[in-house]
Amino acid sequence: MAIFYTNMVILMEIYEGKAKKMIPLDDGKVIMEFKDDATAFNGEKKAQFKGKGWLNAKISAILFKILEEKGIKTHFIGIAGDNKLIVEKLQMYPVEVVVRNVVAGSLKKRLPLEEGTELPEPIVELYYKNDALGDPMINHHHAKVLGVSESELREIEGIALKVNEILREYFTQKGIILVDFKLEFGKNERGEIILGDEISPDTCRFWDVETKESLDKDVFRFDKGELINAYEELYKRLTA
């Protein structure tokens, strides 16, 4: 059952990114507001799609709850409105974690494999979260220079692989291939490493198991059809 929050006191400090606003509350929690904006290719391609924020918020809430039920600690607390979630405040790591199960996207430029090739085991990649530098791929040595310890990296990658295991099984039951996805992590006030950010069609690649049709932001990136139709189809399958 969804948890709804009201009577919240909002602080003035607001962080706004390309797809979300993070609005701190006076109790240490944060409102994560999903926008209708869509961007691709490092912000070079932009558009707005009415209802996109609502869909990403609801899809993220569903997936966070599934992960919580399987023992993954996330920052998700509850739903605060149509396109808003309440989340725990985290000190975020400057590293994005990408898990790949199938060759697609940038991976097909780096390996001599055809798009759609299933990998023999998941690949975990690290990227430095920095728009100005184009979010470059990094390794453990780079991450340690950025302040992430070897033990933290091992824990983060272990959680990411567990998330992959849980979500691959879940999406398979929905007739969907989990091709790849991006995760972000942070530390809470108790010093625990927690899964943060979002899990949505903006941050994952989802293909229909039969047609290989995209149900994610690639629809917008590569003009494959109507983005909202793809997101709605994904949401419909998750709530069926």
Contact 213, 229 (CB under 8 A): no
- How far is residue 163's CA from residue 168's CA, in Å, rounded to a whole number? 8
pLDDT over 90 at 9, yes or no: no
DSSP 188: -
Q: What tokens does 30 get?
A: 């944060």
CATH number where 64 lies = 3.30.200.20
Domain limits for position 142: 91-225
Q: What confidence score (pLDDT) does residue 81 get?
A: 87
Residues 136, 195 within the same domain: yes
Residues 146, 69 share a domain: no
The dihedrals phi and psi of 132, each to the nearest 5 degrees, come to -60, -30
Per-residue pLDDT of 111-167, as tens digits, reads 999 999 999 999 999 999 999 999 999 999 999 999 999 999 999 999 999 999 999
From residue 139, alpha-carbon distances to 124, 143, 146, 153, 215 in Å are 10, 6, 11, 10, 30
Give the pLDDT band (50/70/90) at residue 1.
very low
Torsion angle in degrees (nearest 10) through CA of 107, 110, 115, 118:
-70
Burial of 13 (0-12, 13-18, 19+ CB in 10 A): exposed
3-state secondary structure of 133: helix
Task: Tell me the pLDDT tens digit for each residue of 206-228.
Answer: 999 999 999 999 999 999 999 99
pLDDT at 15: 87
pTM: 0.94
Flag whether pLDDT at 28 surpasses 50: yes
More confident: 9 or 238: 238
Q: What is the pLDDT of residue 226?
A: 97
CB half-sphere exposure, 61, CA atoms < 13 A: 27
Asked if the structure places residue 149 within a domain, the reply is yes
The CB density around residue 140, as the number of other CB atoms within 10 Å, is 14
Out of 1-15, 23-37, 149-163, 164-178, least confident range: 1-15
Evaluate whether residue 239 is within a structural domain. Answer: no
CATH number of the domain to which 139 belongs: 3.30.470.20
Question: Do 20 and 70 belong to one domain?
Answer: yes
Do 171 and 102 lie in a common domain? yes
DSSP 128: E
Q: Which helix (H) or strand (E) holds 200?
A: none
Percent of the chain with pLDDT over 90: 90
Q: What is the pLDDT, as a whole number, of residue 8?
A: 56
Closest to 65 in 3D by CA, of 37, 45, 85, 81? 85
Average model confidence (pLDDT) for the chain?
A: 94
In a domain, 97, yes or no: yes
* pLDDT score of 5 more than 90: no
Give the pLDDT band (50/70/90) at residue 11. Answer: low
Same domain, 107 and 35: no
Instruction: Give per-residue pLDDT as tens, 31-79.
Output: 999 999 999 998 889 999 999 999 999 999 999 999 999 999 999 999 9
* Residues found in the chain: 240
d(CA 209, CA 202): 19
